[in-house]
Structure 1
């Protein structure tokens, strides 16, 4: 618990001279002595302090809140003034207020920027979870010449007295009826002195406003009071005074530094030595010295003398901030930075906007912030920025200039959605153009931003752009070389908002592709010898010639074979491992063959049929026979079963006139005899011609091998 023994006038002397004002220490000045006169009446009050480390619930500030009402404890304390501080990870509200005589409350108006930093910008982060850090401190006191508190107000843990509390009420306005929510800081006294707990009622409290003391290392501050004031409390108990200094830093908001103290023999003077220079603080939280005296039995922290002395930061300019992020938007740019790690306290930041080397805009930001939004910028215009930290002593050096960024209406860069030839395309025509279609309308399309190269050699070309189809066309001024790898490049192109396309490149190979200029057996060949090889001649030297790229199949089954390739004649030879079957259709497949630069042969397939072909073994009448009976039916004995015999493919005609003799045609598949039976008796002493027409659409064997057309003549006699 903290109680003060402070009231009355304050005198500050240095070297025995009374000063009307305070003079900052000059750099390198000798240590100074400062004296404060502290008379000895009492006041009384309430001090309640808590932070989120010791509270079970989060503090959620409704967005509609415009003030916070603090309802103080026990109206019998006759409190009339209060100081307050409400703080969190990224905000602080502090001040003083008069305690309402009827409500025993104070109303803390929220700053207008509590929920947003600037118009149109994102709101600051609020306290919305138990893990976030926040705290509340209230110090309220009675009249400066109030009565000495009666002894029964000395409160100890576990003594059964009523709870002490401050209720935090969030309000939509300033009227007490505008309640939005309540956070109760009440704790039973039996818990008030638990480790880290800090909700206390004091017998005495501050009744004067501390004056700032500008201090440096080696300075001393002497508090002068009545004899025994710094050795006993108001009940005559011995005290052990000590002093600490609280000041803000970048790491943990407040830092505690124990200060050496010495008490005079009669207890009227307490001297405090400043061991180091206190020159920085943040969050608008000035450092202060607090002097305590512990007097409780067995070391209990029951009654303390509490004397706060405000400390002014040393008068030096801030250091250099470091900009860590800069991002352009639609007419604005967001920046963030790290606070200086050297120099004095930052009161404000100055953000300058540059267009080239010219400052076009300057914006001032509160020192508690580490970000800014610069608005009113021109889309499409490049900007850079620097940030300077300032305080009452001056400005530090500006930060390094940021990278150049350009505000624009949108930030999606154009892309290529289609290109021709495609990436890694092969066998491209040597007269082909290169085209690319963009995702949106673009600018800066020319022979510099769109180009074609062979190796490192730039290919001269005309580059055009069709805005209707968003297509650029690169037309080489001369025919491209055969079997070459070309690379297309696109860069430097922007959309209408100024977004730059990501540089891209792709490659393709020109043709011609290899082809098959001859093959044996040919496609559809019949009567192919069963011992034949397959020979393939290519249009140019090729690679990948193997059993994987050239195969011979029968009804889908691969025929074992040896594959060789003669690079001089560009001929591949497939040699079956065994004699092919008779009268069978075989299929040749060629795929995966490449020329020297990788252009692929178009997959090719063809078929042929093995022999033997059917043949005529014998005719009757024999060829050239005479005096043949006029009722004869000519026959032909075949080597195998045939098909395709009709009156159109098997005919008897008069040799002299060519007149056809009507006849029927039949074939005995057992005897393999083809018979022509004339419909009427042949003329006497007349020469006749028998014709059996072979072909794939005429007389052929069942495998389709055609008969070689057969003709013979005979001459009738006079007898039947």
Structure 2
């Protein structure tokens, strides 16, 4: 293989690539109807290396003459123009007479498209100081005129000159407006999503003369884009938690237009993670649920939480833990879960809470009766008609006055520590897991009491088959009035006893055996019972009544009565015949 030849060829190729090349220039002029006016607008450059300049310099009048294929626009800064002969091909673009422009803009540029007597071939007109390949633009307006009125024929007309690197052209397009990039769209609003944003906008007021083929939405920061043919367009790949604004551009066959104003700022986000359930605590027709915020807010602040209790799907909302759900049914078992919400949506539910049963405090029991005892009272009652939705765990009986209480799980309940001799009434309350209910009505009034103290014995006086016992009332009535006393006499030989009752001292005990020895004692009685026996009396011996021996005066009366009886008897006998 001839490596030298290969290297030589490569060197020539590289050298050719490195050689500077003259860019091919071009100029395009549009003449078109714009409302009630005719407008000419052209831009580009001229490569004059292949054109033949003439020596003539003259002042140019901006005009259009269809029948001479003459179009000249703009003004020459030096006041003069230079003629360059171009293509030998003659082109005619109308039949109208010369019409001077209303206004001109840009540099002087013209074309004569036919072979005239004064020129041998078509000619391009440029400012005398124009530099080959320099950018140039030119324009003109014919106010209140139409293309047909100017005698112009719609179409595309091109004059060319030169070859290879010197080739160039002048193109005249009549009846078609120049195509430009569209105007800027009008930004609408941006709406965030999960790692994305959707941007709305309105099409630009100008499409640049060509149909818009697409739109591009660009994020800031990051420069991420989304494309589409209409609004809205979604930009994906965004970072949750990062704030973005967006602009929109429109594209047509001429290119991409200016960007819209920036959109509102949005922060893409996903729904939060699930909260961590805490505990549920029951109340009266409600439950209070605690929880912990999720470990991830999804890139957007959590705006609220929703607690749902089942069965029934009863809900409550709030911005932090705990949240209370109302409207639950007492006596029904519930479990609850929590969701978190941010601008992107709602999280999945937490795990279910512990089971709770809402309840109210029980209703009031129905009072029964109170029975007094020694320093106490026993109170009966009936359970309330409603337990509030939870089992009753106990009852409390409270006295008035004093507020002393007794507790228990059923009726009756005894309240101790009361003061004997004081009148009391009692109420009853029931308690469940929700609390203590209202009190019952008050009971009947009772006065606790004990049996009286023992009476103090006095004396026992014997009688015929009886003994009369005296005594003193006890120092303590036991808190209740003494209703009576009982005296009991017992023979010394342990024989039968005899008793007597009465309301006060003394009491006479009858039915005793004369000539037997007895001792007697007394007990006192009140509503609480009998006292202890008093101490025993002295010994007493009942006796029959002895024969009475007349006194001296009684004997004197007896003697006188006898004498009178005898005297009367003797007188009676002396009178008999």
Regarding TM over 0.5, the answer is: no
Relative to the length of structure 2, the TM-score reads 0.29
Relative to the length of structure 1, the TM-score reads 0.25
Which of the pair has more CA radius of gyration? 2
Whichever structure has more helix as a proportion of its residues is 2
